[in-house]
Amino acid sequence: MKKLTHTINRGYKFRFYPTQRQKELLKSYFGANRWVWNKALDYCSTYYSKYEESVSPIDFSRELTQLKKLEPFEWLNENPATTYGQTLRDLTSAFSKFFKDGYGYPAFKSRHDNQSVRFQLDQRIIHRLYEKGKFIKPSKAFGECRFTWSRVPKGIPKMMTLSLDKTGRYWVSFNVEEEVSVLPFTHSKVGADLGLEHALILSNGKKYENPRFLATKKAQLKRLQQRLARQVKGSNRWREIKRRIAKLHWTIGNQRRDYLHKLTTELIRDNQVIAAVEDLNVKGMSSSAKGTIEQPGRMVKQKSGLNKSILDVSFGSIVAMLEYKAKFYGREVIKINRFFPSSKLCSCCGEKVEAMPLKTREWTCPSCGEHHDRDVNAATNILNEALTPMGGGKQKLAA
């Protein structure tokens, strides 16, 4: 039987080891594109405050062309002009997310942040990408871009991003279109509830532990932050400790991503429908409880600890991974309304209890007498709600 396939857009990221000359070129590219981003952002903000009309960052390209002719800005001609266009497109996308999707207003970039520059690749020579151990040449002046291949992409990239993170590591990343096989159909469907004691609880009773990667490194992180506070800001030792803190956060992030990838891949492989995860407002859940001077918050320290636990388990990443992997491999993820009382409903008779404090981990239904594990019961209710037409279920299993 022939496998079903479809085309997806997959991203790749590899460690990059530039030569000393390439490091100097990248420093120039990063600085020039950071300047273009900040100048274009200031241009758009000033124009709106003066005329109360929005202007696209792409319109700044005309201003940039004129600036490059002036003597103080001739250094802009030393860097690839195509990278400036990509920077302006990125800023345009940031403004679009601000106006349409409710993201924060675009911020000015600092040399202390992660640095990146995007190149448009020459499609006539990109065939070298298919041969393991070969290189990509983003531009003639930059030369060959050699990096460690952990996987060989099957598609042809059109753009390539070179970046430098806070730990001092260089990276190359790009997207390609690839053909992937849809996983064999299975009648298995499962509901999933996100938690703190366990990262994920399934309606079939299976529970995935929460490794608490940030909590395990808490003492080490605290010592480094204390050492940083005692250093002279801007000194070599201060920079070194900052780099070590960034490296520790990088390690924690890698451990978390590795665990979540394994968890979500197992769910996608074993189930046709993941009637999962309420549409949670993670930003609201992890917001500060400090309040204001007029109305100070209550239990601020306890809420701060809860916020760290929520961010450590990374609810948003679990949902995002499930969604894109389901799209890749022909599965379905259904999200239910965040206000659905999954914990308060009896999954057997539908009885709703009025109060269910967080400390209650097990309870008995006053109507039918069924004893419930709080999290497994919530996951079962999520599954039942998701498969109803009102709950968002598309009834694909009927086919």
Query: Where in the sequence numbering do the catalytic residues fall?
Result: 193, 278, 375
Gap between the Cα atoms of 75 and 84, Å rounded: 13
CA–CA distances in Å: residue 291 to residues 21, 170, 282, 303, 309: 51, 41, 18, 12, 20
Instruction: Count other C-beta atoms under 10 Å from residue 69's C-beta.
Output: 10
Within 10 angstroms of residue 336's Cβ, the number of other Cβ atoms is 25
Question: Do 38 and 57 meet the contact criterion of CB atoms below 8 Å apart?
Answer: no
Give the C-alpha separation, 260 to 211, whole Å: 10
Angle at 236 between CA 231 and CA 242, to 5 degrees: 65
Q: Which amino acid is at 110?
A: S
Q: What does the block give as tokens for 22?
A: 């390439």
Q: Which residues pair with residue 382 across a beta bridge?
A: none
Residue type, 172: V
Q: Are strands 332-333 and 362-364 parallel, antiparallel or unpaired?
A: unpaired
Asked whether 82 and 120 are in contact (CB, 8 A), the reply is: yes
